[in-house]
Amino acid sequence: MAKHTIVVIPGDGIGPEVIGAARRVMEAAGLSVDWVELPAGATAIEQGFENVLPARTLAAITAHKVAIKGPVTTPVGKGFTSVNVQLRKKLNLYAAVRPVRSLPGVKTLYDNVNMIIIRENTEGLYSGIENEVIPGVVTSLKVATELACTRIARFAFRYATKQHRKKITVFHKANIMKMTDGLFLNCARRIYEDEYPNIEYEETIIDAGCMKIVQDPTRIDVLLMENLYGDVVSDLCAGLVGGLGVVPGSNIGDEAAVFEAVHGSAPDIAGKGVANPLACIMSGVMMLRHIHEDAIAQRIEKAYDEVLAEGKNLTRDLGGNAGTNQFTDAVIARLK
């Protein structure tokens, strides 16, 4: 019997290509695993499941506690609620963790970015409570609860401490949204003062904060934000280190964790074999650390760092010509 049972959700668009690559790399690096493959997204409907987030997929994640997931397509302005939003709410995956670091051989404006973005994953404007007041007037409700704000603040300080980080910066707009962002700030400040006074703490209004990130991302260590801000700022920060193809992510709750790249299903390149699988492989590495397979995680990390530094097998988004499989094979060849 394999040591781990992990749910794998290939997803839509480039999902199956990048998830396939991550699986191959983890297996080649020695992970003893039984994959439980289940669908979500448009693929689930195509396969005859009852909806985009089948009960069987949810039940498997609940049972096995860990999943790696490819991106899924969400219709814009109409149609079903995002699978990701549903998944995070139903499994209470309240913390999104997205490390953003400069990579060897990937040329960008900065070469020493090393930050962690922590995003509240269950409420804010992503609560999806929208309503038409009268024709031509619609509203969207921004929800903040003391429970969720305190929970994510405590998670962020605990995570920062475990990762030996020195400073937490909270991005907010409490000058305008005095109650919702005000509550988020108050909760973060309280956790800092009462529980983690040894970590440096700062509060920055998000618009100025974004400008500062672009001017000098090295001043950021750990960033803590509510849902929508975290979604937007993660992509901004991905741009600092080489784009969406190189930034991993995880959605963590007390009972389960789902690992997935920051990028979407990239319909423009789906099925062409050119997607960069690195973000998904890196999400796999985060997952391996979560399940205490640190040695395998380190082996994979070293292998892709070497492939990037060598520069011969880079995918198109990083300025090379390698396809998804060529890059993946190069990483596997470097595993020691």
Annotated catalytic sites, by residue? 126, 173, 207, 231
Beta carbon of residue 51, minimum distance to ligand NAI (angstroms, whole number):
16
List the interface residues with ligand NAI, window 191-250 (CB under 6 A): 244-245
> In the complex with ligand NAI, which residue's Cβ is closer, 113 or 274?
274
Contact 278/320 with Cβ under 8 angstroms? no
Compute and round to an integer the Cα radius of gyration of the chain. Answer: 20
d(CA 225, CA 152): 9
CB-CB neighbours of 133 under 10 Å: 8
Render 36-95 in DSSP notation, one character per residue. Answer: EE---THHHHHTT-SSSS-HHHHHHHHHH-EEEE------SSSSSPPHHHHHHHHTT--E
Placement of tokens 């040695």 in the chain: 295
CB 35 within 8 A of CB 95: no
16 and 70 Cβ atoms separated by less than 8 Å = yes
- The tokens describing 23, both together, are 């699986």
Residue number of the CB atom closest to ligand NAI = 264
* Minimum CB distance to ligand NAI smaller for 30 or for 271: 271
Residue 107 makes CB contacts below 8 A (sequence gap 6+) with: 319
Q: How far is it, in rounded angstroms, from Cα 250 to Cα 69?
A: 10
Q: Which is nearer to ligand NAI, 77 or 197 (CB)?
A: 77
Looking at 116-124, 138-146, 215-223, 273-281, which segment touches ligand NAI (CB under 6 A)?
A: 273-281
Q: Which is nearer to ligand NAI, 182 or 320 (CB)?
A: 320
User: Could you say which of 228, 269, 332, 335 contacts ligand NAI (CB under 6 A)?
Assistant: 269
Task: List the one residue from 120, 226, 317, 329 that touches ligand NAI (CB under 6 A).
Answer: 317
| Binding to ligand NAI in span 6-45, by CB under 6 A | 14, 18
CB of 308 to ligand NAI, least distance (A): 14
- Residue 72 beta carbon to ligand NAI: minimum distance, rounded to whole angstroms: 4
Residue 67 interacts with ligand NAI (CB under 6 A)? no
Q: Which residue from 75, 64, 59 is spatially nearest to 12, judged by alpha carbons?
A: 75
Q: Quick one: which of 72, 118, 170, 331 contacts ligand NAI (CB under 6 A)?
A: 72
Spatial separation of the C-alpha atoms in residues 187 and 147, rounded to whole Å: 9
Rounded CA-CA distance 236/246 in Å is: 13
What number of other Cβ atoms are within 10 A of residue 205's Cβ?
Answer: 14
In the numeric block, which tokens belong to residue 225? 């934000």
* Residue 260 interacts with ligand NAI (CB under 6 A): yes or no: yes
Q: Spell out, one character per residue from 275 to 294, where the chain touches ligand NAI: x when CB under 6 A holds, - when not.
A: xx--x---------------
Looking at the Cβ atoms of 29 and 282, the one nearer to ligand NAI is: 282
* Residue 6 to residues 33, 68, 171, 244, 334, Cα–Cα distance (Å): 7, 8, 34, 24, 25
Q: Does 71 contact ligand NAI by CB under 6 A? A: yes
| Location of structure tokens 């400008």 | 211
Span of 29-37, 157-165, 256-264, 295-303 interacting with ligand NAI by CB under 6 A: 256-264
Pick the closer one to ligand NAI by CB: 132 or 268. 268
Determine if 120 is a binding residue for ligand NAI (CB under 6 A).
Answer: no
Number of residues that bind ligand NAI (CB under 6 A): 21
Site for ligand NAI, rule CB under 6 A: 14, 18, 71-74, 84, 244-245, 260, 263-269, 275-276, 279, 317
